Amino acid sequence: MLSKTAKQTIVWGGILILVGVMLLLDQYVELSAWVWVLALAAAGLGAFGLYVVDRSDWWMLLAAYVLWAIALLIALVVPEILQDEAIATYVLLVIALPFLAVYLRDRRQWWALIPAYVMVVVAVMIGLIGLGVLDDMLVPAFVLLAIALPFFVVFARDRRQWWALIPGGIMAVIGLFFLIAEAALEYIGGFVLLLVGAAILVRAFAPRKAREEEGPPAADMASPAGSQEDEAPLE
């Protein structure tokens, strides 16, 4: 029975030979993309068969996964089901999935959640940017809130880890600042015009109203008698 090292050498060497032969044939025959899909899928099936024979050799399962992921990518790109940012999102999610599988298989391997989370967050961000959901200040807001989330999870799992609230809170506050700033930019122009218009109206009507309330200017209240006494001729 072949050792694990020997099987891995045979599988990876066979994959490289297969790809090399197909690249050479493509120079003369111009192979269809679907030929590549079938070849990669078949190679992945062979690697998966070796894993089924010996479940302890999990590297064969990883090789099958990589080959099938590439075959599926080609199958989705050729008919233009995946385009532009969606391709990057697919690749990042494909990379994240094995790390998530490592954690689910053994919960003690919590470190695998770190690269898985980073890949998923970047993939979601690229996808949302491609869809036009994230733009301008929403991008840094998304990134900062995504960074803050793991710290809050650490605190939620163990309340003694209160220190996690410090970096998490700082990142969340800055992220919310960008989020509020983005929302403010959409309405700030309207509010500024309203305030300026209201100030103009108050300035225009306030003096007139004040004059109406004060009434006519005070007249000279000197009595006629007093005036006659003051104007009496001297004897």
Distances (CA, A) of 64 to 37, 59, 97: 13, 9, 14
Task: Indicate whether 209 belongs to any domain.
Answer: no
The whole-number pLDDT of residue 80 equals 87
For 134-169, the pLDDT digits (tens) are: 887 888 889 999 999 999 998 998 888 889 999 989
pLDDT category at 189 given cuts 50, 70, 90 is low
Please check whether residue 90 lies inside any domain of the structure: no
Residues 126 and 92 sit within 8 Å (Cβ to Cβ): yes
Residue 217 has pLDDT above 60, yes or no: no
Determine, yes or no, domain membership for 5.
Answer: yes
Do the domain assignments include residue 28?
yes
Domain count, the chain: 1
Task: Check whether 18 has a pLDDT greater than 90.
Answer: no
Q: Is residue 49 part of a domain?
A: yes
- Over the stretch 88-117, which tens digit does the pLDDT of each residue have? 999 999 999 999 998 998 888 888 999 999
pLDDT of amino acid 68:
94
Domain range for 19: 1-80
- Residue 178 near residue 138, CB atoms below 8 Å: yes
Query: What's the pLDDT tens digit per position in 19-63?
Result: 888 888 878 887 888 888 998 999 899 888 888 887 777 888 888
Is the Cβ–Cβ distance between 182 and 134 less than 8 Å?
A: no
Q: Report yes or no on 58 lying in a domain.
A: yes
Assigned domain for 188 exists? no
Q: Mean pLDDT of all residues in the chain?
A: 80
**Residue 205 covered by a domain:** no
For residue 187, name the pLDDT band (cuts at 50, 70, 90): low
